A and B are shown apart, each in its own frame.
Chain A
């Protein structure tokens, strides 16, 4: 069971992600934008970070860049939750240091399969 940080400004999406992961026995912390996620990440440690791309205050890509600059998060998997229409965002996320992505829309089974894929 892993500690996972879920970052999304949409309450329903974040709720769905957190609920699904908790149902699978993971411990989940939530944050509604990149800035708040950094605060949470600093105060704790996580095995995996899942982050939306488009968020107010600080978007997912800037957040990845900041996280990768922190020693504790150099090698932690970070997945971007992104939509198909934005292939260039995937690459931008990768360049910032994201591990990979999960394409929206995804269902709970796909989410769990992807998380399993990263966590082994």
Chain B
């Protein structure tokens, strides 16, 4: 039996430990807000307990040691030996943060403990009453150089009912040395008549002699599980035991060596573990509810029925069956669409997992800023594509920070404005058409028009005295490099401005906007696509090749006369579009396609936009709109500049998907050159 490689379970361990910490945090916050539900304490305890057990099993000793202390503290809470107060919750919340960091370090192969975690562990340790210095269980081994043991073993009637078997015990004892059964006897508790004997009851006793220089501990270990199930007397074989006591040194030596040699081989696997943990950090997994898998299997079943129906029609086809064929194809289309939806649903996860971060964040911000916030969450069950979900967290955190930092007023100011002391911050997610809408609204002061305009003038974004609509003012906060004076607080000053929020959301194919009313509050609205795996695209022809341009990035398609194109210094070409000069990019040249139209007036120019910058693409023709399932080019071939992926068209040929951001950057560079 070769060594079992445990590293394959590390990723699962990290994932479920992080989930456990999330659950702990949620439960701690619920306790903090006054809930007395005892199940919350159990949840917290269970999470800590599981993390400890897993960490110890998978060799993350630092994590196990830290969790052990936290667990001891929680055990006191669970057994109601310690009351829950704000200070304790603070300490435990800090422990949750600390464990998150420790797990992150472990998963990237670094030592989990650092000065911070050790300090916190010390704090926990001091609080735990009567912690017996986490005795590493090394009870002083008894000197046991004896010649054997006399064992009197009397089973209690219920012994068999615990799944224990005297025969098994004897076999185990035989492993230790020669076993001699000196006497076996029936107890008085046995019924007088055989017919009355209950086979699940045991009424037997034995006198055994075990020969050999066997440690007492080894004998005890055999009967370890039988505490309370038998009467047991173990005595060293008389005479020799006294002789053994005279020279305890040789007996003590082996146990002293054993722990040392046990830790030595543990080191190399730990190093291996780090290597594979780093590797697995990239590949992520997804947990799928069984209902979704069932739906998929169900759908698959329908598809098989349709397929067999169609092949039945095809086998003996004549034109009287045309109508049935048509019906069958319609059914196939329906099946395919449903199957597609079911498959996509597998990647969908509830936004609640992101929303759950906010009670904690809001609590911390309240304390830091001296504000009172009532957080409302709606639509936590709304599902988003996993990739979108992972990337939307940071922008949302930024918007929530902003809303509390800049939007909501202090209790004094609110009182003066006739509002309740506590501001309300609402996070809401719901479906709207093919999009997910996430709304962050507050009932604070609203955008500060004067401050925003002032800053914009200072930054040269607008002219002094320029007339601006409310929408235009709101747009200013998303301008690159814009930040208001209030950003001096340490909360928002992380090099992330609203422009970064907008860029992150746009990278996900979404949009973000804000509506605000002075004195009433602001509403930030993020619209996100349901999935990143499929895009709506415009199929264009360039020579023999097909390129797909994402529909959301297209501003307009137009025909240009030859005279509309100007050549500029450096070799680039530009054309006038709505009063602006845009770079013209000949796709056939950029992608080296043979047989393409080279005269501008015979082709079509597609104007695309990314992050406010526009470029015109020259293509031969527009072939139509199509949903494209994005396939990674990097995975199958390699990264190609200006191409974000590939897809398969309905005729089976491969088309490349234009990377709008990349192409626009290329175009802008050629204009600048």
Q: Which residues of A contact B (CB under 8 A)?
A: 9-13, 15-16, 19-20, 23-24, 54-56, 68, 74-78, 83-85, 91, 94-95, 97-101, 104-109, 112, 117-118, 120
Q: How many residues of B contact A (CB 8 A)?
A: 42
**Given A97-B161, A100-B224, A104-B53, A19 contacting B4 (CB threshold 8 A):** yes
Chain A hits for B171, CB < 8 A: 120
B168 within 8 A of A: yes
The 9 A-B residue pairs with the shortest CB-CB distance in the complex, in nearest-first order? A100-B225, A105-B56, A99-B163, A77-B163, A108-B4, A12-B13, A105-B57, A12-B12, A12-B9
Chain B 147-164: CB-based contact to A (< 8 A → 1; otherwise 0): 000000000000011111
**Given A12-B9, A83-B52, A85-B71, A23 contacting B57 (CB threshold 8 A):** no
Q: List 21 A-B contacts (CB under 8 A).
A: A10-B54, A12-B12, A13-B53, A16-B58, A19-B4, A23-B4, A54-B45, A54-B49, A55-B46, A68-B161, A74-B161, A75-B160, A83-B49, A99-B164, A100-B224, A104-B56, A105-B53, A105-B56, A106-B57, A107-B57, A109-B1
In the assembled complex, the Cα of A120 lies from the Cα of B163 at a distance in Å of 13
**Given A56-B46, A84-B137, A13 contacting B164 (CB threshold 8 A):** no
**Given A68-B161, A74-B161, A84-B137, A10 contacting B228 (CB threshold 8 A):** no
Chain A hits for B46, CB < 8 A: 9, 54-56
Give, as a whole number of angstroms, the nearest-CB distance from A111 to chain B: 9
Closest to B12 in A: A12
In the assembled complex, the Cα of A12 lies from the Cα of B71 at a distance in Å of 19
B3 within 8 A of A: yes
Chain B hits for A75, CB < 8 A: 160-161, 163, 200
Chain B 1-37: CB-based contact to A (< 8 A → 1; otherwise 0): 1011010111011001000000000000000000000
In the assembled complex, the Cα of A84 lies from the Cα of B443 at a distance in Å of 52
Contact A76 B163 (CB under 8 A): yes
Contact B57 A104 (CB under 8 A): yes
Give, as a whole number of angstroms, the nearest-CB distance from A1 to chain B: 14
Contact A99 B9 (CB under 8 A): no
Closest to A68 in B: B161
Most buried by A among B8, B46, B56, B163: B163
Chain B hits for A120, CB < 8 A: 167-168, 171
**Given A75-B160, A83-B49, A15 contacting B228 (CB threshold 8 A):** no
Give, as a whole number of angstroms, the nearest-CB distance from A57 to chain B: 11
The residue from B1, B56, B137, B229 contacting A23, defined by CB atoms under 8 A apart: B1
Contact A112 B1 (CB under 8 A): yes
Contact A94 B64 (CB under 8 A): no
Most buried by B among A10, A12, A24, A100: A12
Give B583-617 interface residues, CB cut-off 8 Å to A. none
**Given A85-B68, A94-B227, A97-B162, A15 contacting B1 (CB threshold 8 A):** no
In the assembled complex, the Cα of A105 lies from the Cα of B53 at a distance in Å of 6
Chain B hits for A68, CB < 8 A: 161
B72 within 8 A of A: yes
Chain B hits for A91, CB < 8 A: 227-228
Closest to A78 in B: B163
Chain B hits for A77, CB < 8 A: 163-164
Chain A hits for B54, CB < 8 A: 10, 12-13
Contact B4 A99 (CB under 8 A): no
Give, as a whole number of angstroms, the nearest-CB distance from B270 to chain A: 13
Chain A hits for B200, CB < 8 A: 74-75
In the assembled complex, the Cα of A54 lies from the Cα of B8 at a distance in Å of 24
In the assembled complex, the Cα of A84 lies from the Cα of B68 at a distance in Å of 11
In the assembled complex, the Cα of A78 lies from the Cα of B13 at a distance in Å of 25
In the assembled complex, the Cα of A112 lies from the Cα of B296 at a distance in Å of 38
